């Protein structure tokens, strides 16, 4: 994990890059021009109720109001209004009215002219748990495949939470001692109690809780024992990271945090700048001489795999298989790096062998499982096209860079 900090009179800009085996796989930005709102919790005021859309706009004191769908109204609110949630959401005009105060959380940043999206289904992420104060359920990260461990975590969750509350065990919770899990839960519960107390004292619109900044969020969510090192090029940020690790009771990871003092810029030293530029190109080369092309449209993303050179005088089947296997690794990487979401259609080079097709699909599934954002292989169509879906989480890399008022 690489952390680049740029300090200027206009504010502090931060970039966090995830590098695996020398290859850039994810990158995140934070800058004054585009403050991050996702995760923030507000006491908002309902401005407009749109019965036809089944939604409302909520003023939270930011530049844009939150768009709140009726499907994002939590069960506790519905029950308090006399409705039965299991029967489906009632008309939104029967739940909300203009001028009403309501606690909301930003679930998705605004994109272009679209308003940010809100929810009343509050979630507070910690190191090991996600606390759901208004949802009565327990869930386990899908990345925890050990059924005995999942059972242990589920049992602990039910011991910790009160009726009406929910807990999701995060991937990092696997194998963690019970006392550490309890500490994390108590911290989240205390945070929520503080939010409720403040909400009772203030008028809307007011910010009740600000999500930690980009670097702290990445340290909390992504800096695990699987990460070899976290290298940061700013001394103040370095000290802040060490302090935050102590705050999280993760002193065992402090030795993996390194302060970079080189004369060459950190992102140049680790080849991030070049790979970031390449991530905006349509054509992506493969090691064996082939390439893939990526075309993003509003409806879907089309990815075409090509051998890239004359293979008539080689073992064609072996050459095609090798190209497709390389593409099956590169495509999931590009989806993560470019933050591509929605429907993805992949046209691999035609293979004569069903066994080769199975090898390519299995490699693709294996690489998709590395993605923290849900990305799923759906099917192979009758035309031999591979269908993939990936959950949308904010803007694509291209849109994000384009919308920044000033580049890094």
pLDDT at residue 11 tops 90: no
pLDDT band at 314 (very low <50, low <70, confident <90, very high): low
- Distance (Å, rounded) from C-alpha 2 to C-alpha 15? 8
Average pLDDT over residues 183-210: 97
Residue range 90-110, pLDDT digits in tens: 889 999 999 999 999 999 988
Could you give phi then psi for residue 217, rounded to 5 degrees?
-60, -45
pLDDT tens string 243-275: 999 999 999 999 999 999 999 999 999 999 999
* Nearest in space to 339 (alpha carbons), one of 27, 16, 19, 20: 27
Query: In sequence order, what DSSP letters do the residues of 288-311 get, joined into one string?
Result: TS-EEEEEE-SS-EEEEEE--S--
Report the mean per-residue pLDDT for the chain: 92
Measure CA 231 to chain center: 21
pLDDT, tens only, 154-196: 999 999 999 999 999 999 999 999 999 999 999 999 999 999 9
Contact status, residue 64 vs residue 106, Cβ threshold 8 Å: no
- What pTM was estimated for this model as a whole? 0.86
- Read off the pLDDT band of 23 (50, 70, 90): very high
Between CA 167 and CA 133 the distance in angstroms is: 8
Average the pLDDT over 83-96 and give the result. Answer: 86
% of the chain beyond a pLDDT of 70: 97
- Of residues 24, 39, 215, the one with CA closest to residue 125: 39
pLDDT of residue 250: 93
pLDDT at 404 (0 to 100): 60
| pLDDT value at residue 407 | 46
pLDDT in tens, 123-150: 999 999 999 999 999 999 988 999 999 9
Q: Which two tokens stand for residue 261?
A: 């003092």
For residue 403, is pLDDT > 90? no
Burial bucket for residue 47 (CB in 10 Å: 0-12, 13-18, 19+): middle
- 373/357 Cα distance (integer angstroms): 25
What is the per-residue pLDDT for 315?
A: 78
What DSSP line would sit under 88-143, residue for residue? -PPPGGGT--TT-EEEEEEEE---TTSPPEEESS--EE-SSEEEETT---EEE-TT
Banded pLDDT at 311 (limits 50, 70, 90): low
Give the other-Cβ count within 10 Å of 118's Cβ. 28
Separation of alpha carbons 294 and 283, rounded Å: 7
Whether 367 contacts 337, CB under 8 Å: no
Torsion of CA 350, 356, 358, 364, to 10 degrees: -70
Domains of the chain, earliest start first: 1-34+213-278 (3.30.420), 41-121 (2.40.50.140), 282-398 (no CATH)
Confidence of residue 408 (pLDDT cuts 50, 70, 90): very low
Q: What is the pLDDT of residue 119?
A: 97
Q: What is the pLDDT of residue 406?
A: 47
pLDDT value for 313: 53
| DSSP sequence for 232-267 | ES-HHHHHHHHHHHHHTT-GGGGGGEEE---SS-HH
56: left (phi over 0), alpha (psi -120 to 50) or beta: beta
Residues 344, 392 contacting (CB under 8 angstroms): no
- Higher-pLDDT residue of 115 and 298 is 115
Whether the pLDDT of residue 337 is over 90: the answer is: yes
Task: Tell me the C-alpha distance between 120 and 103, whole Å.
Answer: 6
Q: Which two tokens stand for residue 205?
A: 């619109």
* CA–CA gap between residue 221 and residue 219 (Å, rounded): 6
Burial class of residue 5 (count of CB atoms within 10 Å of its CB; 0-12, 13-18, 19+) = buried
* Residue 99: partners with Cβ closer than 8 Å, 6 or more residues away: 45, 46
Give the model's pLDDT for residue 75: 86
Query: In terms of Cα–Cα distance, which of 326, 322, 327, 299 is closest to 311?
Result: 322
Give CA–CA dist 386/335, Å, rounded.
14
What span, in angstroms and rounded, lies between the C-alpha atoms of 42 and 60?
6
Confidence at 332, pLDDT banded by 50, 70, 90: very high
Per-residue CA distances from 18 to 26, 108, 158, 278, 338 (Å): 5, 22, 34, 16, 13
């Amino acid at each position: 994990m690489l952390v680049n900090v740029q300090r200027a009179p206009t504010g502090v800009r931060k970039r966090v890059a995830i590098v695996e085996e020398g290859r850039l796989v994810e990158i995140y930005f934070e800058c004054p021009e585009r403050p991050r709102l996702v995760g923030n919790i507000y006491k908002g005021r309902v401005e407009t109720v749109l019965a036809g859309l089944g939604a409302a706009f909520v003023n939270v004191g930011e530049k844009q109001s939150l768009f709140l769908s009726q499907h994002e109204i939590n069960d506790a609110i519905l029950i308090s209004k006399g409705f039965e949630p299991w029967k489906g959401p009632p008309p939104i005009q029967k739940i909300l009215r203009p001028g009403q105060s309501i606690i909301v959380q930003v679930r998705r940043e605004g994109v272009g002219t679209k308003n940010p999206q809100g929810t009343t289904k509050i979630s507070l992420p910690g190191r090991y748990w996600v606390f759901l104060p208004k949802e009565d359920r327990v869930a386990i990260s899908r990345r925890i495949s050990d059924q005995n461990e999942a059972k242990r975590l589920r049992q602990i969750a039910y011991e910790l939470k009160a009726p009406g509350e929910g807990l999701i065990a995060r991937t990092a919770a696997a194998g963690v001692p019970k006392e550490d899990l309890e500490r994390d839960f108590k911290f989240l519960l205390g945070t929520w109690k503080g939010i409720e107390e403040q909400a009772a004292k203030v008028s809307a619109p007011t910010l009740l809780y600000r999500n930690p900044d980009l670097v702290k969020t990445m340290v909390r969510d992504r800096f695990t024992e699987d990460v070899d090192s976290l290298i940061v090029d700013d001394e103040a940020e370095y000290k802040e990271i060490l302090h935050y690790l102590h705050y999280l009771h993760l002193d065992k990871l402090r030795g993996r945090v390194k302060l970079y003092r080189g004369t060459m810029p950190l992102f140049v030293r680790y080849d991030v700048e070049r790979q970031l530029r390449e991530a905006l190109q349509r054509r992506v080369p493969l090691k064996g001489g082939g390439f893939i092309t990526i075309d993003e449209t509003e409806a879907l993303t089309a990815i075409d795999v090509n051998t890239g050179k004359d293979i008539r005088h080689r073992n064609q089947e072996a050459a095609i298989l090798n190209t497709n296997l390389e593409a099956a690794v590169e495509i999931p990487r590009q989806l993560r790096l470019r933050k591509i979401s929605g429907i993805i259609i992949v046209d691999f080079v035609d293979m004569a062998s069903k066994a080769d097709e199975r090898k390519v699909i299995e490699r693709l599934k294996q690489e998709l499982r590395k993605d923290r954002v849900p990305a799923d292989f759906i099917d192979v169509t009758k035309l031999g096209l591979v269908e993939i879906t990936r959950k949308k989480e904010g803007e694509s890399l291209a849109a994000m860079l384009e919308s920044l008022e000033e580049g890094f």
